[in-house]
Amino acid sequence: MPAYRPTENCIWNSFRSSGKRHLLLTGDRGSGKSTLLSGLVGKLSFSRSVPGITTWADPGKAVYLRENTSGKTVQVGRFDPSVPGRENRMRPLTEGFRKAGVQMLDRLAEQEGEWAVIDEIGYLETGCAEYCDTVRRLMERKRLAAAVRRQDLPFLRELCGRPDVFLVDLNAPFGRLGCVIMASGLGKRFGGNKLMADFRGKPMIQYALDATEGIFERRVVVTRHREVEELCRRQNIPVVFHSLPYRSDTVRLGLESLEKGSGEVKGLEGCMFCPGDQPLLGRETVASLALCAASEKKFIWRASWNGMEGSPVLFPAWAFPELLNLPGGKGGGFVAEKHREQVRTAAAGSRWELQDVDCPEALGFLAEIC
């Protein structure tokens, strides 16, 4: 599968789970932030009439701001062929921002509804202090959904770094996360290796492989089953085969493998532990957890349904030392319970995504409800 790109539903679910006030999308030109923002507008209001400002360009000539409700337009940039390079060749027209642009923002703040939309905020806007100040005031009065150009400029860094902002960086939406697929269960209640049991034409473990594909910087399957090991190797998925008895062994071996056995997981910002026996787990749910973890790196993120917590669970890097040294027989839940105040949840797409398979009857039931 190709790398997963966050969908509108995935972003919206992650944003709602975060509890943040504002939603910003950033990324380079052509990263798709404007397209995603347009799709998200319908989720901001039942009426779909969210007031906003759109930036649009006449290539090689000019850049304009347009007030969406009134259609009023003002030129705010002029193409300058003398500027070297391929980007940022528009000269800001500060008066357009200072007069008409500021008035547009003020009108956004006065209109009904809790949301305002700006597509997009870039380097031209940063040249007008009055316009930037008005954006700040707007964010105090309204919730803002906006596309922000990914550029190293003070005002743009300020917006993206605000503590009340849920930021999705489309250049690297999931940050640097690892994933350990837990595939070491003996399947005693199932009567054998349940992970290779057929579910809708595929081995059950394949659904965990598919759900986690293209999201994580590093991924590994930890198993005691030769059939699972062979399946993973055929797909070029890293796998650790072992014969150790405890769940804590599976957790430790997975983390150590992600760092190639150094004993300390360096470079990763977090790691998800994904069960191999939840065949209805969706890629979008996994991606929502990863987006949450990328935006809020200090929390432990768990999938949930109607307030009921489940798996997968995504731990931040500060928890790695404890995960590497779990008491015998304990799993990641031991660390999550120890740090309850740091646990947050992201909603799964359905209750059945969190349902694991312990016996053949459970597998048959999940197959029937699909």
Peptide bond into 312 cis (omega under 30): yes
pTM of the model: 0.90
Which 8-state DSSP code applies to residue 186?
Answer: -
The residues near 108 (Cβ < 8 Å, ≥ 6 apart) are 51, 52, 53, 116, 138, 142
Query: What is the per-residue pLDDT across 145-155, written as a single tens digit (0 to 9) for each?
Result: 999 999 999 99
Residue 263, pLDDT > 60, answer: no
Q: How confident is the model at residue 265 (pLDDT cuts 50, 70, 90)?
A: low
Cβ burial, residue 69 (10 Å; 0-12/13-18/19+): middle
Query: What is the per-residue pLDDT across 316-335, written as a single tens digit (0 to 9) for each?
Result: 999 999 999 999 889 999 99
Q: How confident is the model at residue 47 (pLDDT cuts 50, 70, 90)?
A: low
Residue 27, pLDDT score: 93
The listed range with the strongest mean pLDDT (78-87, 178-187, 258-267) is 178-187
Domains of the chain, start order? 8-169 (3.40.50.300), 177-369 (3.90.550.10)
Structure token pair of residue 122: 């870039």
Q: How confident is the model at residue 264 (pLDDT cuts 50, 70, 90)?
A: low
Residue 89, pLDDT score: 74
Residue 117, pLDDT > 90, answer: yes
Residue 52, pLDDT > 80, answer: yes
What integer best gives the mean pLDDT of the chain? Answer: 91
